[in-house]
Structure 1
Amino acid sequence: MAAPAGLDSGDLIEVFKALGNPARLQIMQWLKDPDAHFGEYEPIADRRSVGVCVTHIQAKAGLAQSTVSSYMSTLERAGLVVSTRVGKWTHYRRSEERLAHLERAIGTTI
């Protein structure tokens, strides 16, 4: 059975690769409820609509800025997050629509 429109096995492989890293999976879990997981950081913009500032993700993860930037780029290429620039800061939020498509694709292809 084929994946839902817009998703193919290559897309699913990219997603599984992106989520195969424990730190990237953890970031996705944190972004599911950004207010709960990033409440200790003063928001630069609305976390729900714009996302979490990459510097806050870096601080929470305890990883180098370059590592977090690389991880976020991987998640974005896989379609799992969306980035938005606010001034000089990049914010990330989950792509809930894409995640819903992926959920259906996994259910129909695996």
Structure 2
Amino acid sequence: MTTHDTPAAGDVSPLLEPLKALANPVRLQVLQWLREPEEHFPVDPAVTDPRAVGVCVSHIQAKTGLAQSTVSAYMAVLERAGLVRSTRVGKWTHYRRDEERITRLVEELRLGIGDLNPAELLHS
């Protein structure tokens, strides 16, 4: 079974890689920014469509203030987890969210750990 398959009942192993990727606050923040790229990154429709092609890694790097190599490593983790997709445009790599995979992940979480009441989490 790959990490992108729907887990069998009780099998939470496909959830581990995406959850590890999201455990890093910067990676989680980048994924949130990519949800509404026009609000968080410079957009030049003449160059690329941020929803169809994605946001250039250099824009992500500038917004995070981290080294380019760190941002590239973070984006590779998100891509291996299936949360983003990359597209090359010339010498630049652009990233966009994989909305279908994120939707499946949310469903896998619901099936894997069940519906959780936030009050139950506070008392566990």
Greater Cα radius of gyration, structure 1 or 2: 2
What corresponds to 1:72 in structure 2?
Answer: 75
Between the aligned partners of 1:42 and 1:54, the Cα distance in structure 2 is 14
Gaps of 5+ in 1: none
**Cα deviations by residue, 1:32-70 (Å, 9 ceiling, x for unpaired):** 00000113x546311010000000000000000000000
1:11 and 1:78 in contact (8 A); partners too: no
- Deviating beyond 6 angstroms after TM superposition, the runs of 4 or more aligned structure 1 residues are none
Q: For structure 2, which runs of at least 5 residues remain unmatched after alignment?
A: 114-124
Asked if 1:94 corresponds to 2:97, the answer is yes
What is the CA deviation profile of residues 68-98 of structure 1, one whole-angstrom value per residue up to 9, with x for unaligned ones? Answer: 0000000000000000000110000000000
| Structure 2 residue aligned with 1:84 | 87
Aligned residue number for residue 62 of structure 1: 65
The offset of 1:6, in angstroms, is 1.1
Aligned length: 105
- SS at 1:91's partner residue? strand
Greater relative CO (CA pairs within 8 A, separation 6+): 1
RMSD, aligned α-carbons: 1.5
The percentage of counterpart residues that share the same residue type is 60
Map of 2:5 onto structure 1: 6
**Residue from 90, 93, 111 that aligns with 1:108:** 111
TM-score normalised to structure 2 length: 0.80
Higher mean C-alpha deviation, range 71-80 or range 43-52: 43-52
Letter in 2 for 1:55: S
What amino acid is aligned across from residue 57 of structure 1 in structure 2? I
